[in-house]
């Protein structure tokens, strides 16, 4: 099992910044991709950003140039730096880990952290 704990959410004004962190614990060996997803009220959960163990990154179009995902394999953490926040970034943000177990790819989710962008 892998446990993921997010932190860093909160209320911020439009144009402001927040940094989300996700700490992984448990059977963390062979964790491949770490990612941040978000889910706004009434909407489906969507991928925000992902980073592979080797450092390759991918972002959804709406956050490119504003958000940066980073990873510390030694500390088993993944962060999401969010700048120039907009009201439409308001959502619950979830950390996700993909882990290989033999030939099976397992998925783990954190409990989520609320981000509210409002004046």
CA distances from 91 to 12, 62, 85, 107 (A): 12, 14, 12, 21
Q: Tokens at residue 106, please?
A: 């397992």
pLDDT-based confidence at residue 42 (cuts at 50, 70, 90) = very high
pLDDT in tens, 82-119: 999 999 999 999 999 998 888 888 999 999 999 999 99
pLDDT in tens, 4-19: 999 999 999 999 999 9
- Tell which residue, 116, 109, 90, 114, has the closest CA to residue 1: 109
């Amino acid at each position: 099992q892998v446990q993921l704990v997010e932190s860093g959410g909160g209320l911020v004004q439009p144009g402001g910044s927040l940094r989300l962190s996700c700490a992984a614990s448990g059977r963390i060996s062979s964790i491949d991709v770490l990612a941040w997803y978000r889910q706004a009220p009434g909407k489906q959960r969507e991928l925000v950003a992902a980073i592979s163990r080797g450092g390759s990154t991918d972002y959804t179009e709406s956050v490119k140039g504003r958000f940066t995902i980073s990873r510390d394999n030694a500390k088993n953490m993944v962060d999401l730096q969010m700048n120039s926040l907009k009201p439409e970034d308001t959502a619950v943000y979830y950390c996700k880990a993909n882990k290989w177990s033999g030939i099976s790819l397992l998925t783990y989710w954190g409990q989520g952290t609320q981000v509210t962008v409002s004046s």
